[in-house]
Amino acid sequence: MNRTEELLREALRDEAGDTTSAPDAWDGIVAAGIGRSRGRNLRWSAAAVAAVAGVSALAALGVVLTDEDDAGQRVGTEGPATTTETTGDAVTTTAPDPGNERPEQAFVISVGNRLSQFNTAAGQTERPLYDREVDEATGAGRLGGLSLAPDGTVWFSMAGAPGDCASFGVYRHTIDTVGPEQVAVGAAPAVSPDGRLLAYAAYSGAHGGPDGEFYGCANTLVVRDLVSGAERVWLPAVDGYQELAAITRISWAPDSRRLIYDLNYEGSSVALLDTEVPGGLGQASMPLATGDVEVESLRSPVWLAGSDEVVVLAGEGTLLRVNVATEAVAEVARSMASYGLDADATGRHLLLTETDGTLVAVAPDGNTEVLAEGFAEAVW
């Protein structure tokens, strides 16, 4: 060990200071641990751990943070978290709107191409689900197109070899099974809220330019009935190389009839599709309208649960909420450089993936919080 390292150790010990454990801290942890494991969320605050004082002082005021029945048996509570606030002598206990609690679980694909279960509170992965080596020269094997189905299954796509469009796959991973199951050839899977329909971008075959060189896989949009297996295919309008426009994100409306998708061709755009309207993709789709507000580079659309609203990324990372019926536009937040976006089952909490691999949670009030770094995609 050299002199710098030796001094550094001493300096860090000095700087860390007196770390004598406060006996109160453990009591606070016990109160929070039991509370959270039973669906409660006691928030730490300065007096965090008023907890400490907490449990006894509040008890003296008639507020009980741990439930016990008459026989003294601990009884778990279902439902939303309870918050207890003390102001002067007044103590109020409220059950907040369940939508105020952001999801504790997410699924992520790391920069290193590993699909994992992720704990948003701890800011770290908890359980690896699937690993895949990537051919760095071609990108084959890279995971993407992450989405969650209503039944809790995780869907994703895996890039194939360039020129071999049949090697691109859509996969379903059931959490407690060994590995993923390939469901289709294509990308960008999305299961409808009623769990019946799978939408995905399919590749109808390799597309060559006039010189015979491979340019990409021709995109179509497919909706498969997961019960009957029947598929309906929308071919994009063929206009030069427009059929090469890549569909990278699909999100269903709450009615399981309409969907929104992005199309990357000489820039990115977002369009709505009514799956019950006859005709090709061009006839059944219409660009997402934003009233008098001029926006560019719309991407990563997500339809918010229980509403006629979608959120999209625009420009260099502005997060917009757009009402598809009224065309009203509102700015939700600005990020540094986001390219991935997802919303939770309540439609209130958003999850951004930034180009540097940072995961950012956006609360209903627009406040952002960095959750972790090192991820290529994330959904919750």
Partner 1 sequence: MVEDRGATATVEQALSDLFDAHYRSLLGTARLLLDDPGSAEEVVQEAFAQLWVAWRRLRHQEAGAAYLRATVVNLSRGRVRRLQIVRRHPAPAPDDVGPAEDVVLAREERRLLAATVRLLPGRQRECVVLRYYLELSERETAEALSISRGSVKTHLHRALATLSDRLEALR
**Of 330, 308, 309, nearest in space to 319 by CA:** 330
**Of 263, 256, 268, 208, nearest in space to 237 by CA:** 263
Q: Which is nearer to partner 1, 15 or 276 (CB)?
A: 15
Shortest distance (Å) from residue 50 CB to partner 1: 12
What b-and-e string marks burial along 257-289, b requiring 16 or more CB atoms within 10 Å of the CB? ebbbbbbbbeebbbbbbebeeeeebeebbeebe
Q: Which is nearer to partner 1, 7 or 233 (CB)?
A: 7
Shortest distance (Å) from residue 58 CB to partner 1: 18
Shortest distance (Å) from residue 15 CB to partner 1: 4
Q: Which is nearer to partner 1, 39 or 163 (CB)?
A: 39
Shortest distance (Å) from residue 12 CB to partner 1: 4
How far is residue 75's CA from residue 81's CA, in Å, rounded to a whole number? 15
How far is residue 64's CA from residue 68's CA, in Å, rounded to a whole number? 9
Shortest distance (Å) from residue 28 CB to partner 1: 6
Q: Which is nearer to partner 1, 14 or 89 (CB)?
A: 14
Q: Which is nearer to partner 1, 128 or 306 (CB)?
A: 128
Shortest distance (Å) from residue 21 CB to partner 1: 5
Q: Which is nearer to partner 1, 211 or 365 (CB)?
A: 365
Q: Which is nearer to partner 1, 34 or 244 (CB)?
A: 34
Shortest distance (Å) from residue 155 CB to partner 1: 22
Q: Which is nearer to partner 1, 112 or 291 (CB)?
A: 112
Applying CB under 8 A, which residues contact partner 1? 4-5, 7-17, 19-22, 25-26, 28-30, 32-34, 36-38, 44, 46, 48-49, 73-78, 104, 110, 119, 121-127, 369-374
Shortest distance (Å) from residue 3 CB to partner 1: 8
